[in-house]
Structure 1
Amino acid sequence: MTGARPELAWDVDLDEQTTVVHVVGEIDIETQELFDAAVRAGLDGPSPLVILDLAKVTFLGSIGLRILILAHNEADETGRVLRVVEGSSAVQRVMAITGLNQILALYPTAEKARLS
């Protein structure tokens, strides 16, 4: 074990109608601030539709689930639409076990989330 810190990276694609936040890496206690900043970038943007693209997320810990729930609630309260690209099978499993797949609007790709 190297002791290296897990990495998380994100970037944003933005237009008038949609903000897509692409997230890559592991979401856990060590990367929570980065993930929160990524979500904030989406929710604070000008677009009414926010897509959190978790397709390249390899791990989703409980802190990430909490951030997703808070984002869902904030989007609801501010009249925005939040859609989530489900990500790896490990992420999909966590969403199913916790029941978040029944609460969040989940899509297999960012393009399908955009077109729905």
Structure 2
Amino acid sequence: MGADELAFWLRARTVGGTIIIELHGELDMLAHRELGPRIRTLVCRGDADVVVDLTAVTFLDAGGIRLLLAIRDQVARRGGVLRLIRGTPRISRILRIVRLDAAFTMLDALPHALAEDADAEDADAVGGGRPMG
């Protein structure tokens, strides 16, 4: 990884009334600082529901947890529903240890209806060191 390449990125798309945010890489304080404003912009588009996919998250610390809590609060303020797709056993364990697994609606995979519709939607990649689109 180069000096100008960050260890995280996101891909977002809207399917129907649901915003799907795929988080990739290391979710730490830098990710919170860099991705937080971008996610806030996505979430503030409307009263949409949000699904955050954690399957590609490789690291989660207090900064990443703060990012997830910020997303939860932003979605709640907009009257939407937030659901998280479980990450690796390691990421799920961290959420369980800090007792946040019960603070989120957890899914094992993207709901079937959203997955089918998502295939027809365009996706945007946003974040450190990865090509857009």
Change (3 A) 1:106 1:42: farther
TM-score of the two chains, using structure 2 as the length reference: 0.72
Q: Does 1:99 align with 2:99?
A: yes
Residue 43 of structure 1 deviates from its aligned partner by 1.2
Matched, 1:33 2:33: yes
Alpha carbons of structure 1 residues 28 and 34: separation in structure 2 relative to 1, 3 Å? same
Question: Structure 2: any 5+ residue segments left out of the alignment?
Answer: 116-133
Instruction: Report the RMSD for the aligned CA atoms in angstroms.
Output: 2.5
Stretch deviating more after TM superposition (81-90 or 41-50): 41-50
Aligned mates of 1:51, 1:72 — CA distance in 2? 10
Partner-residue secondary structure (3-state), 2:92: helix
Q: Find the aligned partners of 1:100 and 1:112 in 2 and give their Cα distance.
A: 25
Q: Which residue of 2 aligns with 1:111?
A: 111
- Contact persistence 1:13–1:19 (CA under 8 A): yes
Matching residue of 1:90? 90
> How far off is 1:48 after superposition?
1.7
CA distance in 2, matches of 1:47, 1:9: 24
Residue 69 of structure 2 corresponds to which residue in structure 1? 69
Structure 1: stretches of 5+ with no match in the other structure:
none
The two structures have a TM-score, normalised by structure 1, of 0.81
Q: Distance in 2 between matches of 1:34 and 1:113?
A: 31
- Aligned match of 1:7: 7
User: In structure 2, do the counterparts of structure 1 residues 112 and 106 end up closer, same or farther at CA, with 3 Å as the change threshold?
Assistant: farther
CA distance in 2, matches of 1:96, 1:112: 26
Are 2:31 and 2:63, in contact at CA under 8 Å, matched by a contact in 1? no
Residues 6-52 of structure 1: CA deviation (Å, up to 9, x unaligned): 51111111133111011110111232223314532441233521111
Query: Which structure's CA Rg is the greater one?
Result: 2
Counterpart contact for 2:49–2:81, Cα < 8 Å: yes
Q: Conserved in 1, the CA contact under 8 Å of 2:24 and 2:57?
A: yes
Please give the secondary structure, in 1, of the residue aligned with 2:30: coil
